[in-house]
Chain A
Amino acid sequence: MTRVITIASGKGGVGKTTITANLGVALSTYGERTVVLDADIAMANLELILGMEGKSVTLHEVLAGEASIEDAIYEGPSGVRIVPAGISLEGLRNVKLDRLEETLSRLIEDTDILLIDAPAGLEKDALAALAAADELILVTTPEVPSISDALKTKIIATKLGVTILGVVINREQHDKTFLTVDEIETILEVPVISVIPDDPEVSRSAAFGEPIVIKNPKSQVTNSIMKLAADLVGEQYHPIEPDKKGVITKLIDGLMGRR
């Protein structure tokens, strides 16, 4: 049976799309047939993060009734299948959200996990992404506005009968001005299932159009996302330790051909 998991946050810019893209790739590495759907039809950027921009058929065309969903599925890294939303505003004009339900029902065929990247806010498109889900992962940064919006999203999702798997705290920093994990758990009343540290490498990966789980498999962010994916599918994950060799040692090894 297909698991439909929506990644939502309430607030924009907390890293939902980045986490969705990387989680999708991570789940694929565990052998799960994963589809990542960008439901952020107005502000789509999943395709940019994965370096898949410029696709002719996207979710826009599917929701406008101009193409079938099969034509909008593209293969991404590690075999993850991606449904980009399209970044043109022209395509957005003809979108009919009512078609999303039907689209999803066709999409879950031959899929183990369908990850939906929900738009920010609580507008109709965001609610459609929430309502379509069986399970929900909330993404938040440890800041008050982000927590506040995550709380609203959680309440709405609960009302819609969606099971909330937990909270992912993104861009965690060692800063006393931010909320602690315990505080976030207490406020949201859902468990924290992953803490992803703040790492500029994530932005760099996005700029290269490559998910960080592939670009930098030894980073803490990758370890956190891989662990989250493993937890979702009940697998064991052993974190990859970063290289402890110094720069000079690496240089010497390189010169000596001992890579």
Chain B
Amino acid sequence: MELPITKPSQVSYADELELSELLEKLMEKEHNGFIRVTHGSEEGYILFKYGIQVAASYDLHLKHDALEKINSVMKKTDTLIEVFDLKKTQIDYLIDLNKVYKFDLTKKSNKTTEKPSEMIKNPSEDEYFNPKMASYREPLSNGYTAEKADDQSEVKTTPETNSVDINRDIEENNSIKSDSSVEESTENNNDDLKPIESTSKIKTSVPNQNNGDVGVNLDSKTVPNLKNETSKAKATEKSTEIENSEKPIKSEDDSSQISPGKEITSEEELILEEEPPEPQIPMDRADLMKKYGLKDIEDEEVDKVIETYKGGEVSIEDLEKIELTLMNKIKKSVMGINKIGGTEVMVFLDNTNELSGKINIICEYASKGIFSRIMGDSKDIQNLKFHISEIVEMEIRKSFREYPQIVDNFEINIDIN
């Protein structure tokens, strides 16, 4: 099983701990988590929801078979048992993740139906799921009699033994003809002819049980018609859930001879009330979002993202600050040139699609010598303009380090007097 291994809340060797006691304790605590049973290189897991066992695996074994294996290794002294706690919110997800190991609903309903009958017969008896008994319930298709026999006698018996008994009973009661072993076992429990009515109920429930192996339905998705297939599978699942949760209860109650008719219905209601909530796949969007830790984006965030596309991330106030900063930086740099006596810098930014602008620089040429005055404007002025232009570009690049190509968006005008 795929389970989050964290720090165990309890660690013990099998000889120091009785599994049944542990299970009872977890049941009482309504424990949400799982236990790991390690024996040599083999590992087994039992997942709990509200103290109820919902899934099990052991090495390559799964479900009830795994429980049986776990039970068998518990007799060995070198088996290590670890108890792990989980949050309630994690359980449903983990059940969903480990669907393959999940106990079949048919068996679950059998298990839940056991509770009231046990309570009636022997209130002191443990309510926990006996792995050994569970393992005998494994063959669903042909082992329904075994399940019933288990439930009836509450003694560990093999399916073969039951079928023998049933066959003997059939011989005794010739009045009922049926292939169904369920039917036969019901007859076995009822001497008069009245229960035949209840037998007919069981008759209808048997094929449903056989078909209604939810484990199969859940995994029966195929890619090409995935959408339809999934919904179909889910519909089948739902219908079998309903059928299985109702019908086996009837049959078991019949077989356990508690009392037919109205009392069964009331017991059914009691069972359904007591039954812990089934781990269902949340289909509500909010549930799904929570399950997968997803969030919708708020309108404000959306607007911000879209604003960046529109190029409006620089506000007017920011624009003015940029203008001022750029102006001062350029002025300072230009004033650093020896031949410049004074300068005035004007920066006009435009923030439409991309940041662009115009930079006007007026400079006063300080050291114009006599010779230069006689000769008129020499190359000096041109060189100075080029020098100032380079300084301005450098300042723009320095100011927009992340986006240096922005320099192409600026128009630089230099006037030297």
A232 on interface, CB distance cutoff 8 Å = no
A245 on interface, CB distance cutoff 8 Å = no
User: What would be 6 A-B contacts, judged by CB atoms less than 8 Å apart?
Assistant: A98-B353, A122-B305, A144-B292, A159-B303, A183-B283, A185-B227
Nearest CB on B from A122, distance (A):
6
Asked if A156 contacts B288 (CB within 8 A), the reply is no
Which residue of B96, B230, B283, B309 has the most chain A CB atoms within 10 A of its CB atom?
Answer: B309
A128 on interface, CB distance cutoff 8 Å = yes
Q: Mask for B210-252, Cβ within 8 A of A = 1, else 0? A: 0000000001010110110011001000000000000000000
Nearest CB on A from B311, distance (A):
8
CB nearest neighbor in A for B221: A174
Complex Cα distance, B285 from A128, in Å, reads 30
Asked if B226 contacts A172 (CB within 8 A), the reply is yes
Asked if B226 contacts A181 (CB within 8 A), the reply is yes
Binding site for B on A (CB under 8 A): 93, 98, 122, 124, 127-128, 131, 144, 147-148, 151-152, 155-156, 159-160, 172, 174, 176-177, 179-183, 185-187, 189, 192, 195, 197, 220, 223-224, 239
User: Residues of A contacting B296 with CB < 8 Å?
Assistant: 151, 155
CB nearest neighbor in B for A155: B297
Nearest CB on A from B397, distance (A):
14
Binding site for A on B (CB under 8 A): 2, 96-97, 99-100, 219, 221, 223-224, 226-227, 230-231, 234, 283-285, 288-289, 292-294, 296-297, 302-303, 305-306, 308-309, 353-354, 405
Asked if A187 contacts B294 (CB within 8 A), the reply is yes
Complex Cα distance, B304 from A152, in Å, reads 13
Complex Cα distance, B226 from A224, in Å, reads 12
Asked if B293 contacts A182 (CB within 8 A), the reply is no
Asked if A128 contacts B309 (CB within 8 A), the reply is yes
Asked if A179 contacts B292 (CB within 8 A), the reply is yes
Asked if B223 contacts A174 (CB within 8 A), the reply is yes
Asked if A156 contacts B305 (CB within 8 A), the reply is yes
Asked if B302 contacts A148 (CB within 8 A), the reply is no
Asked if B283 contacts A182 (CB within 8 A), the reply is yes
Asked if A127 contacts B302 (CB within 8 A), the reply is no
Complex Cα distance, B53 from A158, in Å, reads 45
User: Residues of B contacting A192 with CB < 8 Å?
Assistant: 227
Complex Cα distance, B231 from A176, in Å, reads 16
Asked, given contacts A127-B305, A147-B294, A186-B288, whether A176 binds B97 with beta carbons under 8 Å apart, the answer is yes
Asked if B288 contacts A183 (CB within 8 A), the reply is yes
User: Residues of B contacting A224 with CB < 8 Å?
Assistant: 224
User: Residues of A contacting B288 with CB < 8 Å?
Assistant: 183, 186-187
User: Residues of A contacting B285 with CB < 8 Å?
Assistant: 186-187, 189
Asked if B230 contacts A131 (CB within 8 A), the reply is no
Asked if B289 contacts A131 (CB within 8 A), the reply is no
Which residue of A156, A192, A224, A239 has the most chain B CB atoms within 10 A of its CB atom?
Answer: A156
Complex Cα distance, B289 from A182, in Å, reads 13
Complex Cα distance, B292 from A252, in Å, reads 53
Asked if A186 contacts B283 (CB within 8 A), the reply is yes
Complex Cα distance, B128 from A11, in Å, reads 47
Nearest CB on A from B238, distance (A):
13
CB nearest neighbor in A for B98: A176
Asked, given contacts A180-B230, A182-B283, whether A187 binds B308 with beta carbons under 8 Å apart, the answer is no
Asked if B308 contacts A124 (CB within 8 A), the reply is yes
Nearest CB on A from B120, distance (A):
39
Asked, given contacts A98-B353, A187-B289, A192-B227, whether A127 binds B221 with beta carbons under 8 Å apart, the answer is no
Asked if A127 contacts B309 (CB within 8 A), the reply is yes
Nearest CB on B from A124, distance (A):
5
Which residue of B221, B288, B354 has the most chain A CB atoms within 10 A of its CB atom?
Answer: B288
Nearest CB on A from B234, distance (A):
8
Nearest CB on A from B1, distance (A):
12
Nearest CB on A from B226, distance (A):
5
Asked if B230 contacts A152 (CB within 8 A), the reply is no
Nearest CB on A from B20, distance (A):
32
User: Residues of B contacting A152 with CB < 8 Å?
Assistant: 297
